[in-house]
Structure 1
Amino acid sequence: MDYRFEEDYNLSPNEIDITVRSRSLTAEVQGVLTYLSRYEAKAPSIIPLKTKDRMEMLKVDELVVVDVDADSLILETLKGRYMITERLYKFKERLNNPDFIQVSKHGLININHLQALEASFSGNMLAILTGKRKADVSRRYLRHLENALGL
C-alpha cells in the first residue's frame, strides 16, 4: 500500500479530499473505505443501556468486555456487570469505536483494558483484561486483534 500527502491550495482550510485508487475493489480497499467512513463518525462516550427494570448510562471507556449469553449480552465494566438483550453486531455498531475488537463469534474486548495474551488450547489465545477478566480469542479473529495492536 502506498499513500502520500499533497498540498492543494484550491481546497478550503478545513476541507480534505481523499481518493483511494486501486486496480479493483478488493477486501483491503473496502477495509480502507470503511475505516475512512468510521473516522468521521464520532464514537459516543456514553451509551444508554436498557436493562430489565431501568435505563443505565454506560461510560464506554469503562467497558472491558462484551460476551454473548444465549439471547443476551453480558457487559463487564470496571464498576460491575450489565445484562441486556441486544445482538452483538448491533451493539458493536452502536459503540462505533475502533478500541473494541471482536475476538470471537461471541465476544468483544476493549484493547485499552488488555493486559496480556496467553496461548490456549488448539491455537486459540486467552486475553487477560483489567480486573482479572478473561476472554477467549479464537484463531479466526486473532489477526484482527494483532492488527489493532500494531503487530
Structure 2
Amino acid sequence: MDYRFEEDKELADHAIDVLVRSQELSSDVQQFLDYLAVYQSEAPAILPIKTSDRIEMIKIDDLVLIDVDGPSLILETLKGRYIITDRLYKFKERLNNSDFVQVSKHGLININHLEALEASFSGNMLAILTGKRKADVSRRYLKNLEQRLGL
C-alpha cells in the first residue's frame, strides 16, 4: 500500500479529503474503507442493553465475549452474564468498536481480553479469554483475527 499527503489550500478549514485508488474493489480495499468509516465515528464507552426486566448500562471495556444462543445473545462481561434479544450484526454495529473481532458465525471477542489462542480440532482455534472464558475461532475468521493481532 502506498500513501502520501498533499496540501490543498482550496479545502475548507479542518476538511480532509481521502481518495482510495485501486485496480478493483478487493476485500483489502473494502476493509480499509470500513476502517475509515469506523475511525470517523465515535465509539461509545457505555452501552445500554435491554434485558427481560430492566435496562443495564455496560462498560464496553468490561465486555469480554458476545455469543449467539438461538434468538438470544449472551454477553459475557467482567461482572457477569447478560442475555438479550438482538441480532449479532446489529449488536456489532451498535458497539462500533474495532476491539471486537468476529471469530465465528455466532461470536465476537474483545481482543483486549484475549489471553491465548490454542489449536483445536479440524483446523479451528480456541480463544482463551479473561476469566477462563473460551470461544471457538473458526478457520473462516482466523485470518481476520490474525491480521487484527498483527500476525
Provide, for residues 5-51 of structure 1, a one-character-per-residue CA deviation record: whole Å limited to 9, x for no partner.
23334444522221111122222222221211111011111111100
Q: Structure 1 stretches of 5 or more lacking a match?
A: none
Aligned-pair CA distance for 1:72:
0.6
Aligned-pair CA distance for 1:56:
0.5
1:128 is paired with a residue whose SS is: strand
2:65 is paired with a residue whose SS is: strand
Provide, for residues 55-95 of structure 1, a one-character-per-residue CA deviation record: whole Å limited to 9, x for no partner.
10111110000011111100000000000010111101110
What are the equivalent positions in structure 2 for 1:1-150 lying under 5 Å apart? Answer: 1-150=1-150
**How does the TM-score come out when normalised to structure 2?**
0.94
**Percent sequence identity over matched residues?**
72
Root-mean-square deviation over aligned CA pairs: 1.2
Aligned-pair CA distance for 1:115:
0.6
**How does the TM-score come out when normalised to structure 1?**
0.94
Q: Structure 2 stretches of 5 or more lacking a match?
A: none
1:22 is paired with a residue whose SS is: coil
Equivalences, count: 151
